[in-house]
Copies of this chain bind each other. A is one copy, B any other.
Amino acid sequence: MDTKIRQKVESHLREAELKLTPQRFAILDFLVGSDVHPTAEQISEGVNRRFPRASRATIYNTLKALRDAGVVQEVYLGEGAARYEANLAPHHHFVCRACGKLEDVSSEAVGALPPCELGAGYAVETFEVVLRGVCAACAAKRERRKRRR
């Protein structure tokens, strides 16, 4: 494992006051090195290609612990399984209607939400935005198809 990533992972675990177990290293390392927002199932497959193996319970326990520690984000899009990522920069998501790809969108790109009127007494602390549409690659494909006609 890349030493730099290993150190990053280690500091995350320490920060979260979690024991530094090989399983946790493996899971968090896998997530740090992934940009596809894998499901628990995919994380399990990826991690278990090599030593150390992690049981299903450990995969779920670890993901939950890391989520609670604010080290990973859990994303629900209603496609069955939750998806995970280790992107710590505040961000939102874009889902392509055509290819289904899930991409991160930086918080800055979305900008601040206009102060919303929720009635007196409401305190909004965070917000998540899911943008839906067609990604550049799919849009280009469509354009080409159109031109061919």
Binding site for B on A (CB under 8 A): 74, 76-78, 82, 94, 97, 105, 109-114, 116-137, 139-140
Contact = CB atoms under 8 A, between A and B. Distances in A.
A117 B43 CA distance: 30
Nearest to A127: B131
A126 to B, nearest CB: 5
Nearest to A135: B122
A131 B124 contact: yes
Q: Report the 6 A-B pairs with minimum CB-CB distance, sorted nearest first.
A: A121-B136, A76-B78, A111-B114, A125-B133, A124-B133, A109-B117
Contact of A132 (B97, B111, B126, B137): B126
B118 A140 contact: no
A128 B125 contact: no
Contact of A97 (B76, B78, B113, B125): B125
Contact of A111 (B116, B119, B121): B116
B133 A123 contact: yes
A128 B133 CA distance: 12
Contacts of A118: 94, 105, 109, 131
18 contacts: A76-B76, A94-B118, A105-B118, A109-B118, A110-B113, A110-B114, A110-B116, A118-B131, A122-B133, A122-B139, A124-B131, A125-B133, A126-B131, A127-B131, A127-B132, A128-B130, A128-B132, A129-B129
Given A77-B76, A128-B129, A122 B110 contact: no
